[in-house]
Structure 1
Amino acid sequence: MHKGELLIIGGSEGKEHETEILDKFIELSRARGGAVGILPTASQIPDQVSAEYVETFRRLGAQEIEIIGVDSREKAESPEISELVSKLSALFITGGNQKRLKDLIKGTALYDTLYEKWSSGMVIGGTSAGASIMGEHMIVSAQTKAKDDVLEVDMDEGFGLLKNMIIDQHFSQRARFGRLLHAIAQESQTIGIGIDENTAILVKGNEFEVYGQHQVRVFDGKNRTYVDVNIADNGSEEATMSGIQLHTLTKGYRFDLSKRELLNRKGE
């Protein structure tokens, strides 16, 4: 079987109105005829977050919903949790803290089951932290120290569902252009994808299509001609870059991740 679709959401997706993105997730899950799982591990309030998605998914037509309650690596190693995930047609990863997701799940029996199920066709959706975790690498945090104006970007490993890729979310709304550019500056093969709120990409194979209200940005440094990073007097890393290619896409547009190019024009 082919790997399952990935519905990667930039956060703050519509749950009561403008539910196009979550409608698509439920449509994909129903096509496979099994239960929908909700993984709220990233959240500090998992019960509340899970209840919100259960209510939304039921309203949108989900018949069977399972909560994958994992708040420790011990639970992530549990045979019962892996068995529950093995029966799902789709899994939704909620927002919260992506480092918590990685620390509690990466390298466990649950991760192995999740990856195996996705490799054989299970749909995975994720929003905010649940979006960032899907890349091979992820931005854990970034901050500019007000006193010295120093940008610090903290990176970690993601789940690796998308190789050579970094996903960033809440992109325009939280002014994350600089941090994503900074994250890909040192690795030419890595693609950076910045997804706005209430916006998503649906990845099938090597292609994705944009859904939702706003924009998706793709940063591609494969054909860059120059990158240099200097350390300023205040300790800040300041980059000079040339040849970084930027693509911006809106609803209905498709992109080829292997060829790194736009696939369609307006109306096609």
Structure 2
Amino acid sequence: MSAGQLLIIGGAEEKIHDGEVLSKFVELAGDKNSRIGILPTASEIPDDVSSDYIHTFKQLGVVRVEVINVATRECAEDPSIMELIDSLSAVFITGGDQSRLSELIGGTKLHETLMEKWKKGMVLAGTSAGASIMAKQMIVAADTKLNDDKLTVKLGTGFGFLDHVLIDQHFSQRARFDRLLSAIADNTEIIGIGIDENTAILVHDNKFKVYGEHQVLVMDGKSSNYVNVKVSENGSEELTISGFQLHTLTKGYSFDLANRKLILEKGIQE
């Protein structure tokens, strides 16, 4: 049995009865007969966030929606939480702070159970922070010092459903090109994926397809022939890069992560 599908959302997805991205999640989960779990741990207001998604999923016709309440690492080791996960057809990880997900769930029994269920075919979705956590590595901070414009990108450990990928979200809307470029310049074997708001990629078998309103940027530094970081007199870092490949994909287009190539609409690759 192949691993389940991952619906990775750039944040701010439409929470309406005909919203494309969340409708796709419900379809993948098994439509109205599914039992969906909402994991709001990334948020500091989990009850409010959960209520919004419960309302939206019920608008989309889902009858059974469960909230996976995990506020501490002890909760993430609770056997009753594992029983709940076993009863679900899909899990939706909300936005907030991806560091909270890593700190409270990373390496716990819940993390193990999600990995095991996904490997057996469970559908997982994540938006915003829930998108970043999907990969083995994630951006946890990107700070620019006011006096010298020095951009510092800090990486942390994600849940590891995807390897050799780094996901950034709210991409165009929050002007995150520079921080993803900086991260990939330091880790050229990794593919950077920037996902716009109300836009998602559906990943399965090392390929993904784009859904939603805007676009997805793929940043590939593997074929680069020159990367140099120069520190200027005021301490800021300036990048000189050659040979990076950039791809932008809109709704309906697909990408082969293994071969790092666009898949044309008819499925023929060049």
**What range is the shorter-chain TM-score in?**
over 0.9
Residue equivalent to 1:231: 231
Paired AA for residue 118 in structure 1: W
Distance change (3 Å), C-alpha of 1:154 and 1:255: same
Structure 2 length normalisation: TM-score?
A: 0.96
Conserved? CA contact 1:137–1:165, under 8 Å: yes
Conserved? CA contact 1:86–1:114, under 8 Å: no
Distance change (3 Å), C-alpha of 1:223 and 1:229: same
Structure 1 length normalisation: TM-score?
A: 0.96
Conserved? CA contact 1:229–1:237, under 8 Å: yes
The equivalences for 1:79-228 within 5 A come to 79-228=79-228
Q: Deviations over 1:218-268 (max 9, x none)?
A: 000111111111222232222211100000000000100001001014898
Conserved? CA contact 1:37–1:92, under 8 Å: yes
Paired AA for residue 169 in structure 2: Q
Residue equivalent to 2:248: 248
The equivalences for 1:16-55 within 5 A come to 16=16, 19-30=19-30, 34-55=34-55
Measure how far apart 1:45 and its partner are. Answer: 0.3
Measure how far apart 1:143 and its partner are. Answer: 2.0
Residue equivalent to 1:14: 14
Instruction: Report which stretch shifted further, 147-156 or 52-61.
Output: 147-156
Structure 1 CA distance, aligned partners of 2:235 and 2:155? Answer: 18
Conserved? CA contact 1:132–1:168, under 8 Å: yes
Q: Deviations over 1:16-46 (max 9, x none)?
A: 2650000000001116954100000000100
Conserved? CA contact 1:34–1:87, under 8 Å: no
Conserved? CA contact 1:30–1:62, under 8 Å: no
Q: Deviations over 1:84-114 (max 9, x none)?
A: 1122110000000000110100100000000
Q: Deviations over 1:152-197 (max 9, x none)?
A: 1121011111101100000000000000000111222100000000
Paired AA for residue 203 in structure 2: V
Conserved? CA contact 1:28–1:123, under 8 Å: yes
Structure 1 CA distance, aligned partners of 2:81 and 2:139? Answer: 28
Structure 2 CA distance, aligned partners of 1:255 and 1:40? Answer: 29
Secondary structure at the residue paired with 1:223? coil
Conserved? CA contact 2:33–2:62, under 8 Å: no
Paired AA for residue 24 in structure 2: K
Secondary structure at the residue paired with 2:186? coil
For these two proteins, the number of residue pairs brought into alignment is: 268
Paired AA for residue 180 in structure 1: L
Distance change (3 Å), C-alpha of 1:98 and 1:249: same
Q: Deviations over 1:105-162 (max 9, x none)?
A: 0100000000000000000011000000001111111121222111111210111111
Instruction: Report which stretch shifted further, 151-160 or 14-23.
Output: 14-23
Structure 1 CA distance, aligned partners of 2:266 and 2:94? Answer: 32
Secondary structure at the residue paired with 1:211? strand
- Identical aligned pairs, as a percentage? 60
